[in-house]
């Protein structure tokens, strides 16, 4: 198994407030990742920007943000990954939801779309169930 914890807030932690109030949030912080392969400190640098668009998915209005980030091994200075894409924000809950993603690691590029499909709220049939409704195979828990 592996574990990742924020080591320090860094010069600029992620701020949902900055993004929602100004339309942009830059960040720069470090995590310490501990796994069977050892321990490494990873610097995360990125920017999230509201596009000004709002989309409606399953009757829920979501803000759209362009996102981009890079993870760098602090000890070697080597890039671990670069990611970019779009995310959605349910502003009333200050909740970020994944969307389209382009992830580059070691020369390999993977593109995914994790955009929300349905929203279930308290009182809706199926709310709180632990079995995924879409595109999820069995998971080791």
User: Scanning the structure block, which residue is given the tokens 């600029």?
Assistant: 12
Maximum mean pLDDT: which of 13-17, 85-89, 129-133: 85-89
pLDDT at 3: 58
- Average pLDDT estimate for 36-63: 93
CA distance 130 to 124: 14
- Average pLDDT estimate for 24-46: 89
- Cα four-point dihedral sign 132, 92, 63, 48: negative
63-107, pLDDT tens digit by residue? 999 999 999 999 899 999 999 999 999 999 999 999 999 999 988
34 has a pLDDT exceeding 90: no
pLDDT at 7: 53
What letters, b where the CB count within 10 A reaches 16 and e where it falls short, cover 97-109? bebebeeeeeeee
Whole-model pTM? Answer: 0.78
CA distance 130 to 126: 9
pLDDT at 85: 97
Task: State the Rg of the chain over Cα.
Answer: 17
Helical segments of the chain, H only: 16-22
pLDDT at 88: 97
DSSP letter for 16, please: H
36 has a pLDDT exceeding 90: no
pLDDT at 4: 58
pLDDT at 104: 94
């Amino acid at each position: 198994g592996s574990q990742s914890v924020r080591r320090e807030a860094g010069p600029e932690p992620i701020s949902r407030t900055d993004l929602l109030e100004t339309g942009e949030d830059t960040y720069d912080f470090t995590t310490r990742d501990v796994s069977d392969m050892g321990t490494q400190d990873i610097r995360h640098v990125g920017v999230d920007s509201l596009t000004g668009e709002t989309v409606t998915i399953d009757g829920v209005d979501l803000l759209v943000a362009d996102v981009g980030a890079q993870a760098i091994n602090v000890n070697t200075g080597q890039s671990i990954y670069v990611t970019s894409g779009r995310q959605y924000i349910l502003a009333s809950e200050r909740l970020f939801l994944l969307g389209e993603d382009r992830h580059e690691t070691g020369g390999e590029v993977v593109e995914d779309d994790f955009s929300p499909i349905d929203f279930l709220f308290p009182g809706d049939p199926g709310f709180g169930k632990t079995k995924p409704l879409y595109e999820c195979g069995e998971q080791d828990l």
